[in-house]
Amino acid sequence: MPLSKTHSKNGRTNKGRESRIQREKRELILGAALEVFAAHGFRGSTIDQIADAAGMSKPNLLYYFARKEDIHQSLIERLMDTWLDPLKAIDANGDPMAEICAYIKRKLEISRDFPKESRLFANEILQGAPRIISMIEGELKTLVDEKANVIQGWMDAGKLNPCDPHHLLFSIWATTQHYADFDVQVRAVLARDAQGDTHFEGAATFLENLFCKGLAPRN
């Protein structure tokens, strides 16, 4: 008996549990979909491509995710934690300079370790964020405003060179995510002989230098 309807609609088996196969195959599909969506955006990606990349037939894939949209949604959801965690981790009680440097470092590590996730996010934003705009306007904005206040407090206390905290966060996002999103260009321009992820070290050094000098309070 095909259970795809029951299964697909609530994402559960009859007994209310996910089988081992389901867990594994869903994971397989999400991995393949991440690759494809990151490279072509939502509209530019096809279910066939994802099924191919996952090594399964299209109807089989659709047994696990009833619609293309659902796969994308799943990816975005699990991406969000990865995306917001580093910002959440900024500690209002820590040393201002150290906190911001640590944040930059963490964001850069995410670009290095999860470049496809970064490109998935970038694609979504570039295309007008149709599927995550509410999260951006809600959860993200709230969190950003909160941390911007923390940073503003540090500046008011003379512990950081005063500047707009929102733009500071933008510039940290931009510079760090650039290494994942514009990876092709970065590699082409640097084009050293052996180029694994070596440029990430150079980037870390450069960014620490830039932001440390740029944010150090005037004495």
**Where does this chain bind DNA (CB under 7 A)?**
1-4, 6-7, 13-15, 19-22, 25, 45-49, 56-60, 62-63, 66-69
Which partner, DNA, a second copy, none, binds residue 56 by CB below 5 to 8 Å per kind?
DNA
**Binding residue for a second copy, selected from 1, 21, 189, 194, defined by CB under 8 A:** 189
19 vs 185 by CB, closer to a second copy: 185
Helix axis angle for 68-88 and 96-113, nearest 10°, is 150
Which partner, a second copy, DNA, none, binds residue 69 by CB below 5 to 8 Å per kind?
DNA
Question: Cβ(161)–Cβ(216) under 8 Å?
Answer: yes
59 vs 202 by CB, closer to a second copy: 202
Neighbours of 8 (CB within 10 A): 16
Q: Where are the beta strands (DSSP E) in 102-219?
A: none
Q: Is 167 in the site for a second copy (CB under 8 A)?
A: yes
What distance, in Å, lies between the first and last C-alpha atoms of the chain? 75
Helix axis angle for 165-181 and 115-126, nearest 10°, is 120
Q: What type of residue is 142? A: T
Q: Is 127 in the site for a second copy (CB under 8 A)?
A: yes
- Give the CA diameter of the chain: 75
10 vs 219 by CB, closer to DNA: 10
**Binding residue for a second copy, selected from 43, 55, 93, 196, defined by CB under 8 A:** 43
Q: Is 184 in the site for a second copy (CB under 8 A)?
A: yes
**Binding residue for a second copy, selected from 3, 92, 98, 126, defined by CB under 8 A:** 126
Neighbours of 213 (CB within 10 A): 9
* Alpha-carbon gap, residue 10 to 106, rounded angstroms: 36
Taking the CA of residue 28 as centre, how many other CA atoms within 13 Å lie in the half-sphere pointing to its CB? Answer: 16
18 vs 148 by CB, closer to a second copy: 148
23 vs 167 by CB, closer to DNA: 23
Minimal distance in Å, beta carbon 188 to a second copy? 5
- 3 state DSSP class of 167: helix
- Tell me the window of 52-60, 70-78, 83-91, 206-214 that interacts with a second copy (CB under 8 A): 206-214
Q: Is 33 in the site for a second copy (CB under 8 A)?
A: no
